[in-house]
Amino acid sequence: MARSRPTIGPLRPQVQPLELLELSAGDALDLEPNADLEGFEFTDLTLDDVELRAATLFQSRVSGLSADQADVRGIRLHEVGLDRLNIPVWKGARSDWRDVVVQGGRLGSAELYESTLRSVTFTGVKISYLNLRGASLQDVLFTDCVIDELDLGGAKVSRVSVEGTKVGRLDVQQAQISNLDLRAADLAEIVGLSALRGATISELQLTQLAPAFAASLGIQIA
């Protein structure tokens, strides 16, 4: 009697739990370019602009921050909680995220191209456009999010899972993918189907995407 092969799924993201203890109350005046902030908690701030270019935020939490825009290009976020952010324009190119938890809130255009994300969780976040072009993602988990457009063009993606998340448009052109789990995602459109090697989708998604796969291969369905 032939043995059936065990089903081997993609490797799960290895996300570290965030533990923040004995945080000191932070002030809006602390948020400035090149700041080195450790052990702070910033709560319910409403600002016109946030200027944190090339700053470092370590073992800290930011909750309920509302601003018209945030210039956080080159920021380093290590062991940081970001809760209920409401920021239409997030300029965060070439930033470094490690052990970061993002919960709730809304981001409009989030520019994270050429950034590094390691052990990062997004839960219940609404994002209009998430630009991760040329970024490096390892151990990243999206849960119960709504992302109108997720751009992974040219990105390096390893152990990334998209669960219970609605994605209007996913662009993976020229991406390098390993263990990208899309089975529990609601995907309306995928651009760059030929770059999906290394991703896992469900049978239902395969059926839904069949016409797009055929078109990308030059196959006519009559």
pLDDT range class, residue 9, cuts 50, 70, 90: confident
pLDDT of residue 205: 87
Task: Please give the full DSSP string across 71-103, using - where no structure is assigned.
Answer: E-TT-EEEEEEEEEEEEEEEE-TT-EEEEEEEE
pLDDT of residue 220: 76
Rounded to the nearest angstrom, the gap between the alpha carbon of residue 52 and the centroid of all alpha carbons in its chain is 20
Between the CA of residue 86 and those of 27, 70, 115, 165, 191, what are the distances in Å? Answer: 18, 10, 21, 19, 28
Q: Is 14 a member of any domain?
A: no
Q: Is 122 a member of any domain?
A: yes
109-116 mean pLDDT: 98
pLDDT of residue 42: 97
How much is the pTM? 0.92
177-181 mean pLDDT: 97
SS3 178: strand
Q: Is 41 a member of any domain?
A: no
Between the CA of residue 35 and those of 78, 98, 180, what are the distances in Å? Answer: 14, 18, 35
What's the sign of the alpha-carbon dihedral 26, 109, 201, 116? negative
pLDDT of residue 174: 96
SS3 213: helix
74-88 pLDDT per residue, tens? 999 999 999 999 999
pLDDT of residue 211: 78
DSSP summary character for residue 201: -
Q: Is 211 a member of any domain?
A: yes
Q: Is 39 a member of any domain?
A: no
Q: Is 27 a member of any domain?
A: no
Query: What's the structural domain count of the chain?
Result: 1
pLDDT range class, residue 7, cuts 50, 70, 90: low
139 vs 194, residue with greater confidence: 139
pLDDT of residue 78: 98
pLDDT of residue 208: 83
Distance CA 124, CA 217 (A): 36
Work out the number of other CB atoms within 10 angstroms of the CB of residue 42. 21
Q: Which range among 21-25, 101-105, 208-212 shows the weakest confidence by mean pLDDT?
A: 208-212
Q: Is 67 a member of any domain?
A: no
pLDDT of residue 77: 98
> What value, to the nearest 5°, has the Cα angle with vertex 214 and ends 209 and 216?
95
pLDDT of residue 3: 54
Which domain covers residue 180, as residue numbers? 85-216
Q: Is 130 a member of any domain?
A: yes
